[in-house]
Structure formats: structure tokens, C-alpha cells
Amino acid sequence: MTNNLDTQRLNTSALIKQYKLLAILRLKQQSDVAPLIDCLVNAGISALEITSNTPGFEQEITKARAAHKNALIGAGTIINTTLAQQAIDAGAQFIVTPNTNKAVVDLAHQHGLPVLMGALTPTDVANAIEYNADIIKVFPAGSMGVGYFKALTGPFSEAQLMPVGGITLDNISQWFDAGACGAAVSGDFCKIVNTEQERSDLTKLVKSYINKLPK
């Protein structure tokens, strides 16, 4: 059983790195979540996380899993095992944390889910590696800059580092050039899409991001 769960976790983690682009959904109204996911997936996004501070995040994870069989739907802002268990019960396929927490990794791995673990300092990164995090989410990356991120890749050359926070269309290529295994985008993708024009605008923006990804 453990081998099957490990295989599932590793396969999901590999897909996230293959897709290279992760959308972070943090919204104030639960009713805005499903239309946004529909638009993002139709535009070409294959990995999305719904943050735990989005109202009804558990229900929206379950709904998104049912509606989008070919997309990976994860849970973000999972700061403790209570939230991790709620996300697992809702059907999340991966867990994203802003902090470095061994107990969250242990719980997620018991259920075959990879963890994108938040880390900022070299000590955080070393701890995340020690805790067996699948991908290390350098957060908030934008506040520290591409140079800081690249510096981390020196001592941690084997680590799978993904910048989160401050990733834009103008700088996304720089993060990949600095050694990122992927990038997560929040602000530009967290839109209310109630009209055809709003859907069209977001679709164009997503495609612009996809065009910037390394081939």
C-alpha cells in the first residue's frame, strides 16, 4: 500500500513540475471560485490550488475535482494538520503551505499527496528537505528578488525550488532562468469572471503566461 501511495505522490509531483505553472486561487466570495477555475482550465492551466482562507474551500475543491478530471486540484495556505486533514477529506490532490511544518508533510504523505512546502531562509529550505517536502515553495519570493532565489540554488542545487509571490508576466522568465522548477501565480489569475469580456481577457493573459514557459 505504501508503495502505491508513494507512486501516486511522485507522479503528482512530477506532473506539477511538468506543467510548470500553478494558479493560486484566493477569493473573497465562494460563488466566484467555480467560474474562475472553469476559465483557467479552459485557457490551459492544469494545476490549481484553492487557499484555505477562501470561503468554502473544501466544497470548491470537491466540486473542481468532479468538474475537471484532467486538472490537478490542490489546497493552499495549509498551515497545520487540521487544515491538511480537511483538504485531504475534500479530495485535494496536493498540499501547499506557506510555512515549514513536518507534521503536514507526514500527514499528506500518508495519503499519497505531495507537499509544496513554504520556505524562505536557508534554514527553512534545509528543514523542508529534511522533512521530505516534494517541492520547496520559496515564499515570498518577490519580496526577496530573483538574485536571492538564485543564491539559494547554490547550496541547494538538488532541491526542487518554486518561487511564489510577486511572479508576473514581465519577470516569470527570469525565475526559470534562475533555476525554478515551476512558478505559481496568484494576483494576475485571481479575477472575477462574470462576463464574456472578463473571461476573454483572462484567457488571453493565461496564454501569454504559458507562452513564456520554458519549452
3-state secondary structure of 154: coil
pTM passes above 0.75 = yes
What is the four-CA torsion angle of 29, 34, 40, 42, rounded to 10 degrees? -160
Residues 6+ apart with CB under 8 A from 113: 8, 9, 12, 88, 92, 93, 94, 95
Instruction: Give the confidence band of 78 by pLDDT, cuts at 50, 70, 90.
Output: very high
pLDDT digits (tens, 9 = 90+) for 40-63: 999 999 999 999 999 999 999 999
Which of the 8 DSSP states describes residue 165?
Answer: S
Cβ(37)–Cβ(68) below 8 Å? yes
Terminal Cα distance for the chain, rounded = 35
Instruction: Give the confidence band of 2 by pLDDT, cuts at 50, 70, 90.
Output: low
Cβ(39)–Cβ(199) below 8 Å? yes
Report the DSSP beta bridge partners of residue 137.
118, 162
pLDDT digits (tens, 9 = 90+) for 127-146: 999 999 999 999 999 999 99
Alpha carbons 87 and 92: distance in angstroms, whole number: 5
pLDDT of the residue at 20: 98
Q: Is the pLDDT of residue 1 over 80?
A: no
